[in-house]
Amino acid sequence: MRPSSFLFVLAFGLDAAFARRAAPRATQNPAGVTGTRKSSFLKNVAGIPPVPPAAKVAATAFPVNDIQGDIIVGMQKPKELFYFFSIGDAASFKTHLAKDIAPILTSAEQMLNTTQQPLVLLNMAFSQAGLTTLGVLDSLGDTSFTLGQIKAIQTLAEKSDGWQQEFKGTGIHGVMLLASDTVDLINQQVAFLETTFGSSMRKVYALDGAMRPGALAGHEMFGYKDGIAQPALDGFGDTHPGQLVVPPGMILTGMDGDSGVRPVDGWMTGGSFLVFRQLEQLVPEFDKFLLDNAPIVEGKTLQERADLLGARMVGRWKSGAPIDLSPNQDDPALGNDVNRNNNFDFTHDGLDFKSDQSRCPFSAHIRKSRPRADVSSNISIMRSGIPYGGEVTAAEAASNTTSQARGLAFVSYQSSIAKGFEFIQKAWVNAPGFVFGKDVQPGFDPIVGQNFGGPRNVTGLDPNDTHKQLTLPLEFVVSRGGEYFFSPPISAFTGRLVA
Ligand code: HEM
Ligand SMILES: *[C@@H]1O[C@H](CO)[C@@H](O)[C@H](O)[C@H]1NC(C)=O
Ligand SMILES: *[C@@H]1O[C@H](CO)[C@@H](O)[C@H](O)[C@H]1NC(C)=O
Ligand SMILES: *[C@@H]1O[C@H](CO)[C@@H](O)[C@H](O)[C@H]1NC(C)=O
Ligand SMILES: *[C@@H]1O[C@H](CO)[C@@H](O)[C@H](O)[C@H]1NC(C)=O
Ligand SMILES: *[C@@H]1O[C@H](CO)[C@@H](O)[C@H](O)[C@H]1NC(C)=O
């Protein structure tokens, strides 16, 4: 076992032991965290589009008071706990669901309107095993969801060896998402929820997410600003230049443009499938690779050349500035400007679209996961994850070796897992031939492309010779597993889920 996973298991074991010791607090009957806010707990990070204004959204036909809030708030939460549970006695669990949980689930409307925002966001979603346990036997119209994420590993080109044990079977029935500006508020709400459910719910696993500190807020663990490019739901609030407008049914089940076959009574309308992935990031190893393979560019320091390689792998500089608009150096003003930082499609006058990678490589993460002008397609997911684990320590940086697990608690929402997350992972980022029709095979997405942990060939990274192939010896992002969930509309918590 690698030291990092050993520490992880140890930490989890202690946590479980602590939870057992703390069990008697059930008799203390803590109150739920109630109260309203004067200002939104969502953190405004320059360059990450803010949530749409409540007034604009109120004027639309969207059932915003029925859609769970996390689906539309993206990556702006300061702290978030993922609490994975199993259901004990289904009848008792359902009683609590309808009576105690439904009233405190946070809707999209509440998240957009600060005067309605709770101190702690609470959302809840269920796996297929969870719905079966509840006796909800309808087909939700999504085969990937029905099978569960562990069944997808072969086609996702990953191995289960590194998976967190809890994700390997069907023991996770659901997940609660709790988000706030402080861990304290989240813990208070967890205590309330555990007391309320009593033995009808058991914690199986938990993962703490947090924005990175200070100026790194909004940046993922490799250092790049994350959460910039999100699809806009047609008719819902503001759009920014370059944003992909998709039919709402691409993200929300039962809405316009949803091609899935859903139960006829419409109880799924306004829900969304939630893909959770614990993606560990080997940050010191990644940084060393950039230094060791930095392209030769006259007039740049070694660090600047390493930064250029990293930016070409991602398709953006650390500030969020797209390399398609600023190919040679970072431009923080561009990265911070929501009206410019997403306004590109990889085409330029006089640039040969088939062969010219002097700006964005065909293999860059943002080009592989959203090919813009390369393909005519609306394939899109709403990303709502958050980093987990601590900052890289001085010892880790000096040794070029990860010893404390950190990464991205990846969350995506879509109305079809096969056409959303799985399609992007399988047909695009993992497919060396994609983007098709270029003068060179692009190879894997160097950030998230998977090849069962084996080496990955990539072209386009050296601006001097874009046909040159670089072999990435290891995956810098390692899947620790996850699960597929359905995030139902809030009305289902007093309706179909408890019928
Ligand atoms: C640890 C793993 C990951 C890291 C570090 C990462 C990092 C990033 C960064 C820095 C961006 C650019 C900023 C932005 O537009 O928000 C981005 C965009 C994006 N990522 Fe990832 N990502 C990861 C995993 C994934 C996975 C697993 C998928 C889907 C299979 C994915 C899909 C996307 C998409 C669709 C975009 C937006 C592209 C666009 O519209 O321009 N990412 N990611
Ligand atoms: C925000 O919520 C308050 C309290 O419910 C309400 O009075 C106000 O009209 C809402 N604002 C908008 C723009 O919907
Ligand atoms: C993409 O979505 C837009 C907006 O809803 C729609 O007009 C267009 O037809 C869609 N394109 C494809 C290829 O589905
Ligand atoms: C290409 O490589 C040469 C040396 O091999 C170097 O002088 C030049 O600056 C490089 N050009 C670019 C655009 O990287
Ligand atoms: C870490 O990697 C850098 C870049 O390759 C190298 O200069 C340094 O010597 C390495 N440190 C150790 C302890 O291996
Ligand atoms: C990567 O490239 C090397 C060298 O060209 C080749 O031997 C190997 O088969 C390639 N690997 C894959 C997975 O294509």
CB 81 within 8 A of CB 186: yes
pLDDT average, residue stretch 449-456: 97
What's the pLDDT at 1? 34
Q: Is 138 a catalytic residue?
A: no
Q: How far is the CA of 349 from the centre of ligand 4 (A)?
A: 24
What's the pLDDT at 378? 87
Rg, Å, the chain Cα set = 22
Residue 218 pLDDT > 80, yes or no? yes
pLDDT average, residue stretch 141-165: 98
User: Which sign does the torsion angle of CA 389, 395, 398, 402 carry?
Assistant: negative
Q: Which positions ≥6 away from 381 have C-beta within 8 Å?
A: 231, 251, 275, 412, 413, 414, 420, 421, 424
With CA atoms as reference, report the closest residue to 215 among 205, 202, 225.
225
According to DSSP, the residues that pair with 80 across neighbouring strands are 179, 209
Span 365-400, pLDDT tens digits: 999 999 999 999 889 999 999 999 999 999 999 999
What's the pLDDT at 24? 34
Span 349-367, pLDDT tens digits: 999 999 999 999 999 999 9
Nearest ligand to residue 396 Cα: 5
Q: Probe ligand 1: pick from 216, 251, 365, max atoms within 8 Å of CB? A: 365
Residue 89 pLDDT > 90, yes or no? yes
Atom of ligand 1 nearest to the CA of 229: 15
Least confident among 50-64, 366-380, 479-493: 50-64
Residue 19 pLDDT > 70, yes or no? no
What's the pLDDT at 59? 87
Q: pLDDT-derived band of residue 237, with 50, 70 and 90 as boundaries?
A: confident
Span 252-310, pLDDT tens digits: 999 999 999 999 999 999 999 999 999 999 999 999 999 999 999 999 999 999 999 99
Give SS3 for 316.
Answer: strand
pLDDT average, residue stretch 404-433: 98
Q: pLDDT-derived band of residue 64, with 50, 70 and 90 as boundaries?
A: very high
Residue 140 pLDDT > 50, yes or no? yes
pLDDT average, residue stretch 62-81: 96
Does the predicted TM-score (pTM) go above 0.85?
Answer: yes
pLDDT average, residue stretch 112-129: 96
Q: pLDDT-derived band of residue 338, with 50, 70 and 90 as boundaries?
A: very high
User: Which sign does the torsion angle of CA 152, 158, 159, 161 carry?
Assistant: negative
What's the pLDDT at 30? 54
Q: How far is the CA of 457 from the centre of ligand 6 (A)?
A: 6
390 vs 212: CA distance, rounded Å: 8
Least confident among 1-10, 99-108, 331-340: 1-10
Ligand 2 contacts CB of residue 59 (under 6 A): no
Q: Which residue has the tokens 């200070």?
A: 214
What's the pLDDT at 479? 98
Rounded mean pLDDT of the chain? 93
CB 280 within 8 A of CB 478: yes
